[in-house]
Amino acid sequence: MKKSSLVLLLAVLAGTPTARAADIIGTVTLNGTPPPEVPYTPLMNDPTCGAMYTTTPTTHFYVVGSNHELANAIVSLKGITGKSTGANQPPVTLDQKGCLYVPQILAIQTGQKLVVKNSDSCIHNVHCVPAVSGNPESNQVQMPGGPDLTFAFPQPEMFMKFKCDVHPWMFAWVSVYDSPYFGMSDKEGKFIIKNVPPGKYTVEADHRKLGTLTKDVEVKDSDVTVDFAFDVK
């Protein structure tokens, strides 16, 4: 047995408290009634795209549950850089389906692959427009049944815009983090930031339409709960 393994075994047997990473968990909610979603009328006016729907789809800017739970808020540790594990993480997929990007809000790490698919029977033109220097702009046609497109970005950036030059209503927003310490709220408003080392942090919640909230927390050796409540502007 290696000496390091022996030390670990003895520590476990003795019940010695060792500093361990904990999770930051919480719920994101929205107070108030958000503005109504916008029907994708131009989509319906496009013969090819419109034929994919029987009723007009709408935007999903505010995904809110019956108890005010808010989805698509990205919660992250502020000011953590240079900790990316993105190159070793599985790719994240962005699909084009029904002439819309699915999902429209994503979060990845620097160096992590973003794979863009075209599940439609029509052509799309994937055009990412980064605002941060060092993240390359890219503009590529993607045929129906064509090969996936793969992207990766070296610099952190909030809500980088992806658009389609064929269909001007198509947008996705990709946030790029320089660490693994982020999580997105789901339809129950719940998020999790896993394996956070002990320390004091500012936790930031970002929603593309609602802005940013922050809270300070201290992580010790057990999970910490941090809830965020946005207000309709």
Binding site for Cu ion (CB under 5 A): 124, 164, 166-167, 170
Nearest distance from C-beta of residue 137 to Cu ion, angstroms: 17
77 vs 116 by CB, closer to Cu ion: 116
How far apart are CB 53 and Cu ion at their closest, in Å?
A: 15
- Of 83 and 127, CB closest to Cu ion: 127
Q: Which amino acid is at 201?
A: Y
**8 vs 52, which CB is nearer to Cu ion?**
52
How far apart are CB 166 and Cu ion at their closest, in Å?
4
Which C-beta is closer to Cu ion: that of 46 or that of 227? 46
Task: Report the alpha-carbon distance of residue 190 to residue 28 in Å, rounded.
Answer: 6
Distance CA(153)–CA(109), nearest Å, equals 8
| Cβ-Cβ contacts under 8 Å for 13 (sequence gap 6 or more) | none
Nearer to Cu ion, 89 or 125 (CB): 125
Q: Which is nearer to Cu ion, 167 or 207 (CB)?
A: 167
Supply the minimum distance, in Å, between the C-beta of residue 99 and Cu ion: 6
Q: Nearest-CA neighbor of 233 among 13, 33, 8, 21?
A: 33
Tokens encoding 36 = 């109504």
CA pair distance 61, 53, nearest whole angstrom: 20
The rounded distance, in Å, linking the Cα atoms of 219 and 77 is: 12
Taking a C-beta distance cutoff of 8 angstroms, is the pair 142, 149 a contact?
yes
Preceding omega of 103 cis (within 30 degrees of 0): yes
Whole-number minimum distance, CB 141 to Cu ion, in Å?
Answer: 10
Q: Determine whether 15 is exposed, middle or buried from the number of CB atoms within 10 Å of its CB (0-12, 13-18, 19+).
A: exposed
Q: Which residue is nearest to Cu ion (CB)?
A: 164
CB 173, min distance to Cu ion, A: 16
